[in-house]
């Protein structure tokens, strides 16, 4: 064994292990661990790797459907998209690193999620992201926006995967903890999916990609603790990305995966070589022996501790068929990447690490990987908020001024400044670009496509985690529906505060229940995901943010809809019921400076009925534009449609509607605005489907008018809508 290093209580605590957890370490080993072993326990049992606080609740999420090939637990979720193909996707957070070093934090977030997808054999075809920043008034916000956007672009643009969609909003609860959630979607032949399972005693364990350096040591442990003012000092735990190497790694892996040589493969993400080797061995029920002298390293003198805990990027671990090493080596040499056989699988059920001919660690695999602690943390429910009646909310002095305020607000303004920094067209399959309800990416060489979106309204989740999380699922489903896609499955990125506080754990538990109800009602299983806790600074948590990424299938790319209103003289039809719900609305926040009330209730049966109707209309080619109604309600949606297609419209408030401001700005769920040349036919079909539908306006002209409430020119709206973000970032 290696020289015994004294394991003091301070050292144990510094590794993020509780006294109780350390007791369990002693029990499993029957002796004191050495420093390397302590480091391994520390990362494997970190919240980030072990899901010890969330596991109990995550089991509640529906994960099955006939089209699900692989649900949560692997590197990414896999669903059947027909014609022998599968979509492989996942969303993952890189919140803590991005706050400390925004460019590299965001860039390596993109790199990590890309690897999760191509490690399964899928060529990445699209990236998306969900970003949350602090208040625009906070002194760090601009710096963080600028760095994160440049980092996402810098990585994604170079690897040549289009960044086709995302969301970005601002709230002071993120002042000290921004959220950077990155999603990758890939496509693979469905009979050639690769899993992280090591089998076959004696088979070679192979390391490929970049060399291992001293960067990112203990990143997973950092992501499992709260921040304080000392956060800046943690910069050395942030990794540095190399998108060029990632691109080579993608191509080399794709080439290798076309051969029959790989038994199991896993990217080295959080906790690097430790978690990849443990997970693969544990899933395959084998032991593993690694000779750390064979690991390609960037510098000399690296200890076993450093090699095992390094989070250097762009690395993969594989188990190969015996005797096939030469085939694999030739491919990696062609792409000028490191390739090294660093060990073998054994039948001991133990991980044995050798360095300099000595055993430097000897640990049982299953107790570490699978018997990680699971906590049933106490939960405390948030007090329910009262519904606000439309009458309890003041009308604006001017409807058009309120519209301008909303369209020019940080959350609802155009995010063009962001997505124009991302190459969203490389691969030449981006059929619907960013800025719509959902992006559409063609399945290469076919006339079918994938519709993709990310959604969440954190202020709803803060007010009522269950309703807010259900709303996030419903809105993702609605966004896919609005472009004519069949929603298939979701990935979730659960961003919450400190789970050791009962009110945070209560938010988490309720959010899961809300998601569960919505996923079940909409046949929309969760196939992958990630939990990020400890998003707190100095004891103040973020708004609970269950970010949802969703994938739908477009069977015929000729039968889709966009939000752009392009034809004059068409009818605008409102689908769904409008009560005029203003609690937690954008109107309340931006126009009145209030944040009270319950969020809009989600009627899942109506959501499904209305959506199924709208999708059928789009797929039948009977609508010329379609937009889901969300933040800012009907009038904001109408304005977005008018701006996207450069065609104005006139809206008439129906007799018997709720008060005008509630009807125009209410955020009732399950609604769409449609443009059609045949309103009569559409209304008749809606009636027989039991779907509320009414003509509320006509397209045409160069301005937006609400009869009785004024007119505003599209050019004025355009300036307001496009102006805020470039102005804020200093480009205007």
Partner 1 sequence: MKAAVIVFPGSNCDRDVKVALAQSMGTPPLMVWHRESDFPSVDLIVVPGGFSYGDYLRAGAMAANSPAMAETSRRADRGVAVLGICNGFQILAEAGLLPGVLMRNAGLTFICRDVHLRVERSLAPFTGRYRQGQVIRIPIAHADGNYFTDEDTLKRLEDGGQVVFRYSDTEGNVTGPANPNGSLDNIAAIVNEAGNVLGMMPHPERLADPLLSGTDGRAMFEGLVEAFG
Residues near partner 1 (CB under 8 A): 150, 153-154, 157-160, 242-245, 247-248, 335-336, 419-431, 433, 442, 447, 557, 731
**How many residues are there in the chain?**
732
Q: Which is nearer to partner 1, 401 or 425 (CB)?
A: 425
For residues 163 and 143, give the distance between their C-alpha atoms in angstroms, rounded to a whole number.
21
Distance in Å, CB of 282 to partner 1, minimum: 35
User: Are β-strands 710-713 and 703-706 bridged in parallel, bridged antiparallel, or unpaired?
Assistant: antiparallel
Indicate the residue among 204 and 209 with the shorter CB distance to partner 1. 209
> Which is closer to partner 1, CB of 436 or CB of 576?
436
Query: How is the beta sheet containing 649-651 ordered, strand by strand?
Result: 625-628, 672-676, 571-575, 693-699, 649-651, 703-706, 710-713
The partner residues of 90 in beta bridges, in order of sequence, read 184
Burial of 152 (0-12, 13-18, 19+ CB in 10 A): buried
> Sign of dihedral through CA atoms 300, 304, 306, 307?
positive
When the beta carbons of 27 and 731 are compared against partner 1, the nearer one is 731
Task: Report the SS3 class of residue 278.
Answer: helix
Diameter over CA atoms, the chain: 85
List of residues 6+ apart from 20 with CB closer than 8 A? none
Q: Measured from the CB atom, is 160 or 296 closer to partner 1?
A: 160
Q: CA–CA separation, 642 vs 376, rounded Å?
A: 50
Residue 170 or 419: the one with the smaller Cβ distance to partner 1 is 419
Q: CA angle 649-654-659, nearest 5°? A: 105
User: Quick check: 7 and 17 in contact, CB under 8 A?
Assistant: no
Q: What share of the chain is helix, strand, coil (3-state, %, to 5)?
A: 35, 25, 40
DSSP labels, 206-266: EEEESPB-STTTTHHHHTTS-B-GGGGGGGGGS----HHHHHHHHHHHHHHHTSS-EEEEE
**E strand or H helix that includes residue 632:** none
CA 124 to chain centre: 15
Would you call 23 helix, strand, or coil by DSSP? helix
What is the residue whose two structure tokens read 């046949």? Answer: 523
DSSP states along 156-180: HHHHT--EEEEEEEE-GGGTT--EE
Residue with Cβ nearer partner 1 (337 or 476): 337
- Catalytic residue from among 15, 94, 424, 627: 94
Nearest residue to 163 via CA among 469, 405, 421: 421
Beta strand pairing status for 350-355 and 287-291? Answer: parallel
Catalytic residue status for 15: no
| Nearer CB in complex with partner 1: 158/547 | 158
Element (H, E) at 374: none
Instruction: Using the structure block, give the residue that is written with the tokens 């990155």.
Output: 182
153/576 with CB nearer partner 1: 153
Contacts of 274 (CB under 8 A, 6+ apart): 39, 40, 43, 44, 308, 309
Catalytic pick among 15, 48, 581, 627:
48
Q: What is the DSSP letter of 353?
A: E
The terminus-to-terminus CA distance of the chain in angstroms comes to 63
**Distance of closest approach, residue 478 Cβ to partner 1, in angstroms:** 24
Question: What is the residue whose two structure tokens read 């690296």?
Answer: 302
Please tell me the distance from the alpha carbon of residue 723 to that of residue 732, in angstroms, as a whole number: 7
Least Cα distance to 532 among 105, 69, 39 occurs for 105
Question: How many other CB atoms are found less than 10 A from the CB of residue 727?
Answer: 13
In terms of CB distance, is 352 or 426 closer to partner 1? 426
Asked if 143 is an active-site residue, the reply is no
Give the C-alpha separation, 168 to 392, whole Å: 30
CA distance 523 to 519: 6
Return the number of the residue (247 or 324) whose C-beta is nearest partner 1: 247
Q: Spell 161-173 as b/e; 16+ CB within 10 A means b.
A: bbbbbbbbbbbbb
Give me the least distance between CB of 87 and partner 1, in Å please.
Answer: 19
β-bridge partners, 293: none
For 656, list phi and psi in degrees, rounded to 5: 85, 5
Closest contact distance (angstroms) between CB of 336 and partner 1 is 7
Tell the burial category of 688 from Cβ atoms under 10 Å away from its Cβ (0-12, 13-18, 19+). Answer: exposed
Q: How far is the CB of 725 from partner 1 (least distance, A)?
A: 13
255 vs 678 by CB, closer to partner 1? 255
Q: Which of 368, 669, 658 is nearest to 522 (CA)?
A: 669
Query: Which CB, 413 or 521, lies closer to partner 1?
Result: 413
d(CA 701, CA 623) in angstroms, rounded, equals 20
Pairing verdict, β 262-267 and 315-320 = antiparallel
Which residues are designated catalytic?
A: 48, 94
């Amino acid at each position: 064994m290696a020289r015994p290093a004294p394991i003091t209580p301070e050292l144990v605590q510094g590794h993020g292990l509780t006294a109780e957890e350390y007791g369990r370490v002693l029990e499993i080993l029957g002796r004191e661990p050495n420093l390397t072993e302590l480091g391994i326990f520390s990362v494997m049992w970190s919240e980030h790797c072990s899901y010890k606080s969330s596991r109990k609740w995550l089991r509640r999420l529906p994960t099955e459907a006939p089209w699900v090939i692989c649900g949560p637990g692997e590197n990414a979720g896999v669903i059947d998209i027909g014609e022998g193909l599968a979509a492989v996707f996942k969303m993952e957070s890189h919140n803590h690193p991005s706050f400390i070093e925004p460019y590299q934090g965001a860039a390596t977030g993109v790199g990590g999620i890309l690897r999760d997808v191509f490690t399964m054999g899928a060529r990445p075809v699209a990236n998306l992201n969900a970003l949350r920043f602090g208040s625009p008034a906070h002194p760090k916000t601009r710096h963080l926006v600028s760095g994160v956007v440049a980092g996402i672009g810098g990585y994604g643009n170079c690897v040549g995967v289009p960044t086709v969609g995302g969301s970005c909003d601002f709230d002071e609860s993120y002042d000290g903890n921004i959220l950077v959630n990155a999603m990758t979607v890939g496509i693979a032949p469905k009979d050639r999916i690769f899993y992280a399972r090591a089998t076959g005693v004696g088979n070679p364990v192979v390391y490929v990609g970049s060399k291992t350096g001293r960067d990112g040591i203990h990143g997973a442990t950092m992501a499992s603790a709260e921040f304080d003012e000392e956060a800046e000092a943690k910069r050395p735990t942030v990794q540095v990305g190399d998108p060029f190497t990632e691109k080579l790694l993608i191509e080399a892996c794709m080439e290798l995966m076309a051969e029959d040589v790989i038994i199991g493969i896993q990217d080295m993400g959080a906790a690097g070589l430790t978690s990849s080797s443990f997970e693969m061995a544990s899933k395959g029920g084998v032991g593993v022996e690694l000779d750390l002298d064979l690991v390609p390293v960037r510098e000399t003198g690296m200890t076993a501790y450093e090699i095992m805990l390094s989070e250097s990027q762009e690395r993969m671990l594989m188990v190969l068929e015996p005797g096939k090493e030469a085939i694999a080596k030739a491919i990696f040499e062609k792409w000028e990447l490191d390739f090294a056989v660093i060990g073998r699988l054994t039948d001991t059920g133990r991980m044995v690490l050798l360095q300099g001919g000595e055993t430097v660690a000897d640990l049982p695999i299953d107790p570490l990987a699978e018997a990680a602690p699971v906590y049933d943390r106490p939960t405390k429910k948030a007090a329910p908020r009262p519904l606000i009646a439309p009458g309890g909310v003041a009308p604006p002095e001017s409807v058009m001024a309120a519209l301008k305020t909303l369209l020019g607000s940080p959350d609802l303004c155009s995010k063009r400044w962001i997505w124009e920094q991302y190459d969203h067209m490389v691969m030449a399959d981006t059929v619907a670009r960013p800025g719509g309800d959902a992006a559409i990416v063609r399945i290469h060489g076919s006339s079918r496509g994938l519709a993709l979106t990310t959604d969440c309204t954190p202020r709803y989740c803060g007010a009522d985690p269950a309703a807010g999380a259900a709303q996030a699922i419903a809105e993702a489903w609605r966004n896919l529906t609005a472009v004519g896609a069949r929603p298939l499955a979701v990935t979730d990125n659960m961003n919450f505060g400190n789970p050791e506080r009962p009110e945070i754990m209560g938010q988490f538990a309720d959010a899961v229940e809300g998601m569960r109800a919505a996923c079940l009602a909409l046949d929309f299983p969760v196939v992958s995901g990630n939990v990020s806790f400890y998003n707190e600074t100095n004891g103040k948590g973020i708004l609970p943010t269950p970010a949802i990424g969703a994938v739908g299938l477009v069977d015929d790319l000729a039968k889709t809809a966009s939000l752009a209103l392009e034809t004059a003289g068409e009818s605008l039809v409102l689908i769904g019921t409008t009560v005029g719900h203003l609690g937690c609305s954008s109107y309340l926040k931006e126009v009145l400076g209030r944040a009270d009330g319950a969020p809009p209730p989600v009627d899942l049966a109506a959501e499904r009925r209305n959506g199924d109707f709208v999708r059928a209309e789009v797929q039948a080619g009977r609508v010329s534009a379609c937009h889901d109604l969300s933040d800012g309600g009907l009038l904001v949606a109408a304005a977005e449609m008018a701006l996207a297609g450069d065609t104005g419209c006139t809206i008439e408030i129906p007799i018997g509607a709720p008060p005008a401001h509630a009807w125009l700005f209410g955020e009732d769920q399950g609604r769409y605005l449609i443009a059609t040349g045949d309103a009569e036919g559409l209304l008749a079909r809606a009636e027989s489907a039991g779907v509320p539908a009414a003509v509320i306006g006509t397209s045409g002209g160069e301005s937006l008018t609400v009869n009785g409430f004024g007119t505003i020119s599209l050019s004025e709206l355009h300036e307001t809508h496009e102006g805020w973000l470039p102005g804020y970032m200093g480009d205007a």
